[in-house]
Amino acid sequence: MRITGDGVWGEPADPAGARRLLEQIVKDGVDLIDTADSYGPEVSENLIAEALHPYPENLVIATKGGLTRAGPGIWNRGGRPERLKLCCEDSLRRLKLERIDLYQLHAVDPQVPIEDSVGALAELQHEGKIRHVGLCNVDLDELDRARAIVPVVSVQNRYNVTDRASEDVLRACERDGLAFLPWFPLATGKLASQGGVLDQTARAHNATPAQVALAWLLWHSPVTVPIPGTSSLEHFEENLAAAQLQLDDDEIEALDALAPA
């Protein structure tokens, strides 16, 4: 979503730079890119295809349907089965794919039973247009209801060192072997201020608070797949380096304690 314009709307300021960034992250070993039809809308998927098609054999492109856009920063739900099928077809066309490896319901539409929305994804999977089905922004009940309709391989919820409202969903993913993709993984806020736990830990490792937040996510659960967004090569390299950061037990305990009571 970071390779679009302000408010995740329209073209980025430097489309050529966005394409170069996409090319470089694949060269540096990234094998999962998470996008959505609503990023732009359509802009992110188009840029990915322009920069990377034909795709490396090991690259997984995960995309989503289920949100509509009315302007910068404006997001609405749209989970009707017929709409989701159309969204998937359009994503296949933009991404120049015959099958999407991971197609995710972007959000549950309160006007549409989740069974109906994921039922459409199950049909698309049966038709060979989707390999795996994922969910985003769901609670435990919604996850269970969806899994009664179609096998689910991943959940993408907001989650970070300071926001653990989805801890129960993460633990369910651990129990059942589902991938958990935390969005907004770098939220640090006031906790990154000078003298705070994140700041102190970062200084001890000659790292940034954001790198510490990513390293904590990787430690916190074996099923966690962080998806930090970036619009610059420098920021990407910083994020990638977080995978090499080793936190000690005392640091992990202090970061664990940041969870709201």
Mind listing the domains of the chain with CATH numbers?
A: 1-156 (3.20.20.100), 184-261 (no CATH)
Least confident of 42-46, 144-148, 252-256: 252-256
Q: Please provide residue 98's backbone torsions phi and psi, each rounded to the nearest 5 degrees.
A: -90, -20
Helix extents (H) in 177-208 = 197-204
Average pLDDT over residues 12-25: 97
3-state helix, strand, coil in the chain (%, to 5): 45, 15, 40
Q: How confident is the model at residue 195 (pLDDT cuts 50, 70, 90)?
A: confident
Residue 162 has a pLDDT of 87
Tell me the CA distances in angstroms from 135 to 107, 169, 173, 221, one per residue in order.
8, 11, 12, 18
The catalytically annotated residue of 39, 55, 103, 159 is 39
3-state secondary structure of 7: helix
What is the pLDDT, as a whole number, of residue 145?
Answer: 98
Q: Which of 21, 83, 73, 72 is nearest to 48 (CA)?
A: 21
Phi, psi of 180 (to 5 degrees): -120, 115
Residue 188's pLDDT is 65
Let me know if 159 is a catalytic residue: no
Structure token digits, residue 43: 């802009």
pTM comes to 0.95
pLDDT surpassing 80 at residue 113: yes
pLDDT in tens, 141-191: 999 999 999 999 999 999 999 899 999 999 999 999 999 999 998 866 666
